[in-house]
Amino acid sequence: MDIYEEIFKMCSEHGITFYSSLPCSHNIKLIQRLEELDGEIIGNADNPLIHTPLVREESGVSLSAGAYLGGRKTAMVIQSQGLGNMVTQMLSLNSPLNGSYRIPNVLIISHRGLENEKVDAQKPVGSKSKEILNLVGFKHCSVKVISDLKKFQDLLEEYDKGRSIALLVEPDYSKPLYRIESKKNITRNFKGNAIPIKKIQATMTRRKAISEVINQIEDEFVVSNIGHPSRELHRLKDRERNFYLTSCLGHSYTLALGLALSTEDINPKVICFEGDGGLLMNAGSLSILAHKKPKNLIVLLLDNGVWGSTGNTETYALHDVNLSGVAQAYGFPESNIKIISKEEQLAENLRFALKNDGPFLFHVIITDEYENVPILPLSVVEIKKRFMKSIENARISIYSS
């Protein structure tokens, strides 16, 4: 039996019926199961199970607190990366500290960044996860195999006394990762916005979209987002002018914005890849982008409607959220927004954007297909140093000519 299955069984037996989640590649099976069970009565429960996929982990803390006020026992299924983002809410709503509402909550955390972790960028938060939990006053324990779960039983008793608790689940890196099967060429419906496109069928894979861009540009600076997009970009064409952001989900476009604003003196534009999941997590900052309007920034929103890098659970983008419509509502110039699903459209719009003042937002609808690409062989410090050197060289060549 899968350890997460057993954890879910224990939570159910303990009367937990209100779940929220944000995926890690290692907890997908449980999240998929929770989604299937949404609305069902489990065992002797008085109420149907509620599962809410989150777009940012910190909202799960207040969502759970509200559910507790409404009479539910709650649990969140997340990755350790999300823990850092939740600190203020946990201190204010869950902790036993003076001034906190002391509302109990249960966290089931895929604890990345430990010994066998291959993704370097998981390490800072992973190595501090226990300290974060101590800081916010959560009782916690670490488990690796099912027989360790006796410790969780003891924690659940603490929970009954009103304490918030956390279970840190060490991933089994030896197991192949579970993924939800690709739905391939599904048709997307865009509703309720001024852009006159209603139905769009994805045709390009993410790799194809990235390669279309990377093969057309020359000196441009590129910022790519966490997970498979950065890996695919590296695989297609590694360059000094590529900055691979391998942490900070949802923040590649804000990093690219800072870069664009501070490099207006050098010619090449800044091109940024962002994901639909990432953008949903940090949608509010679109208002900054819309307000600052950097002429030298092109954002490519690679929208596959799923949290693709962590196993393909759906994002809200797949259903009703039109993210470029959101950008438009925040004030992003409408004429510079394009919804794109075909290679030729992407190539043509990119050609135009490279020669004209932006900012541009290309909402690229891609399939949710997956290719296994190895993790980056570069350290994050190498990525930074190399990139900054390329900026320096760009300035030298401009000011010395």
Ligand X SMILES: Cc1ncc(C[n+]2csc(CCOP(=O)(O)OP(=O)(O)O)c2C)c(N)n1
For residues 148 and 7, is the Cβ–Cβ distance under 8 A?
no
Q: Establish if 275 lies at the interface with Mg ion (CB under 5 A).
A: yes
Q: Establish if 276 lies at the interface with Mg ion (CB under 5 A).
A: yes
Residue 322 interface partner, choices Mg ion, ligand X, none, CB cut-off 5-8 Å depending on type: none
The nearest distance, CB 274 to ligand X, in angstroms, is 7
Strands laid side by side in the 165-169 sheet? 50-53, 16-21, 73-79, 106-110, 165-169, 139-143
Q: Establish if 211 lies at the interface with ligand X (CB under 6 A).
A: no
Residues 83-102 that bind ligand X (CB under 6 A): 85
Strands laid side by side in the 337-340 sheet? 242-244, 221-224, 270-275, 297-303, 360-365, 337-340
Q: Establish if 226 lies at the interface with ligand X (CB under 6 A).
A: yes
Q: Tell me the C-alpha distance between 399 and 31, whole Å.
A: 54
Among 51, 228, 251, 338, binds ligand X (CB under 6 A): 228
Tokens describing residue 6: 């057993």
Q: Establish if 227 lies at the interface with ligand X (CB under 6 A).
A: yes
Of the candidates 258, 228, 256, which has an alpha carbon nearest to the alpha carbon of residue 243? 256
Tell me the pairing of strands 199-201 and 165-169.
unpaired
The nearest distance, CB 61 to ligand X, in angstroms, is 13
Question: How many residues of this chain bind Mg ion (CB under 5 A)?
Answer: 5
Nearest-10 Cα torsion for 346, 349, 350, 355: 170
Residues 246-265 that bind ligand X (CB under 6 A): 249
The nearest distance, CB 219 to ligand X, in angstroms, is 25
The nearest distance, CB 228 to ligand X, in angstroms, is 5
- Per-position x/- string for 332-351, each x denoting binding to ligand X as judged by CB under 6 A, each - no binding: --------------------
Q: Establish if 304 lies at the interface with Mg ion (CB under 5 A).
A: yes
Tokens describing residue 133: 């939990």
For 161, phi then psi, to 5°, come to -85, 5
Residue 38: exposure state from Cβ atoms within 10 A (0-12, 13-18, ≥19) = middle
Q: Establish if 79 lies at the interface with ligand X (CB under 6 A).
A: yes
Q: Establish if 171 lies at the interface with ligand X (CB under 6 A).
A: no
Residue 246 interface partner, choices Mg ion, ligand X, none, CB cut-off 5-8 Å depending on type: none
Which residue lies nearer to Mg ion by CB, 104 or 277? 277
For residues 325 and 192, is the Cβ–Cβ distance under 8 A?
yes
- Per-position x/- string for 18-37, each x denoting binding to ligand X as judged by CB under 6 A, each - no binding: ----xxx-------------
**393: how many CB neighbours lie within 10 A of its CB?**
13
Whose tokens are 């509302």? That residue is 103
The nearest distance, CB 226 to Mg ion, in angstroms, is 11
Q: Establish if 306 lies at the interface with ligand X (CB under 6 A).
A: yes
Residues in the site for ligand X, rule: CB under 6 A? 22-24, 57, 79, 81-82, 85, 206, 226-229, 249, 275-278, 302, 304, 306-310, 315
Residues in the site for Mg ion, rule: CB under 5 A? 275-277, 304, 308
